[in-house]
Structure 1
């Protein structure tokens, strides 16, 4: 494992370094990566970007993140939910403060559609985002494998994630890393609003004490 001035465990592969957590001062950059990956889905709830990015940056939980760095620049981010705490946060009060009482209530209701809870012995993925300049270089695989290692260290028996029907590239990556679809839920009422019409839940079993 490589070591540098950032806190937390690290692992390196080629020119990519993994960090459990976020680099100091990288909240805004992390929010930008997250928005680039999920803005299409979250846009109706968090738009405009001028409000969404500061909101996301202010309510990220760094202890539920894995970062990928190249030359100390954040190029990839994976979030997860464990023990009731996830990468993205923000209470109803936070939403109302950022967007106002009327717009905030509507947006909070939309965000509630994405709320997920982990079952005992389960780690839930809270999104994975890779900068366009780093796609196809194995960064996504490194992030997924590190999250799998975290799940094993916490005694989880499986990892769960959801992938929308308009993101086949992400689904292909998950399948290559051992995730299998367990159910698909049609959401035609969301196609016009959020741009997707189905969500597939995928599971991956975790070998105790083993890395993916």
Structure 2
């Protein structure tokens, strides 16, 4: 369990693995709040997107931060062929229709990042705006790192877009190093960002001070 400094009249922030039962809608709203700008062209309108995400979450691929039992932070990871956000091609076509669904599938394919052997891919972090600056992101990253160590992964990989410098700064503070930047100026008008940077962090062996 991780802990954050509690505010006046609040309990500590605790971290747990797995999404709490009944928190699917809240998790989808937080995920959309963090990544809606990136995913919007593929999943808009927002209400439909949130409903789709909530209906296809893999709860066991989440690390969650809770304050007094309420979800205030969320990190997803991809391991063993499953990520936090699910939904097959047929699910997308069923939700959006074939005519509108096919181009959405092409856009979603641009965001697919499969882990190499020995890698755990982190899908990003979403934190309640009222909880930013209180160490929630750090707690989530370190719990994901603990999962990676237990699964005998050698490194954690993630992608961050150029319009999210706050997230990149957090990742750098937590030991991630940029290894490659892919510039996509031809997509900037459609997706709202012009470059994606891949970052990696080595996974410390258990007992080596990682946690």
- TM-score normalised over the length of structure 1: 0.94
Which residue pairs with 2:3 in the alignment? Answer: 12
Which residue pairs with 2:104 in the alignment? Answer: 107
Cα distance in 2 for residues equivalent to 1:50 and 1:155: 38
RMSD: 0.9
Cα distance in 2 for residues equivalent to 1:209 and 1:203: 18
Gaps of 5+ in 2: 6-11
Matches within 5 A, 1:60-209: 60-209=57-206
Cα distance in 2 for residues equivalent to 1:11 and 1:192: 40
Which residue pairs with 2:8 in the alignment? Answer: none
Gaps of 5+ in 1: 1-9
* Secondary structure in 1 matching 2:140: helix
Cα distance in 2 for residues equivalent to 1:11 and 1:162: 24
How many residue pairs match? The answer is: 203
Q: Deviations over 1:61-118 (max 9, x none)?
A: 0110000011111010000001111101100100001101110111111000001100
Query: Post-superposition shift, 1:11?
Result: 3.7
User: Do the aligned residues in 1 keep the contact of 2:4 with 2:135 (CA within 8 Å)?
Assistant: no
- TM-score normalised over the length of structure 2: 0.94
Matches within 5 A, 1:36-75: 36-75=33-72
